[in-house]
Amino acid sequence: MVHIPNCFHAAPPLLLHVDVMIKPAPSPTLGRALKVVVLGGPRRLPGAKHTGWVHERAALERAQPPEADEVLLADEEGKLLEGLITNFAVIQGVLLTSLLCQR
């Protein structure tokens, strides 16, 4: 816990709980197929930055099989939405990813 003194003295001190989520970068995967698993549905608030996602993501990472390189999220119809570490889009059946030179 981090204690932050209240400068206004009108309210009790503010206590914050700070979680740090740092994982080592995955090993390079160029030249080999990746193994992915679909484990989750859509995020509760995909358009907002919020602390609830930290807990949702941690649960997905704990459920990730050791042989899987990535966890994907899908909607109720099975359409892929996003990955925990990947950025991708599928437009009219074409998979789009970031260029290697942009990394």
Determine, yes or no, domain membership for 84. yes
Determine, yes or no, domain membership for 72. yes
Distance CA 96, CA 93 (A): 10
Q: Return the closest-CA partner of residue 95 out of 36, 27, 25.
A: 36
Determine, yes or no, domain membership for 5. no
103: confidence class by pLDDT, cuts 50, 70, 90: very low
Q: Return the closest-CA partner of residue 40 out of 55, 21, 54, 60.
A: 60
- Looking at residue 1, what is its pLDDT? 53
What does the pLDDT look like over 12-68, one tens digit per residue? 667 777 777 666 666 666 677 788 899 988 888 877 777 888 888 889 999 999 999
Determine, yes or no, domain membership for 29. no
Q: Which residue has the higher pLDDT, 58 or 10?
A: 58
- Looking at residue 79, what is its pLDDT? 85
pTM: 0.62
Determine, yes or no, domain membership for 23. no
Determine, yes or no, domain membership for 12. no
Q: Return the closest-CA partner of residue 72 out of 44, 36, 46, 48.
A: 36
Tally of domains within the chain: 1
Determine, yes or no, domain membership for 76. yes
CA angle 11, 16, 20 (to 5 degrees): 170
Compute φ and ψ for 77, nearest 5 degrees: -90, 0
Distance CA 89, CA 95 (A): 6
Give the residue numbers spanning the domain of 66.
34-103
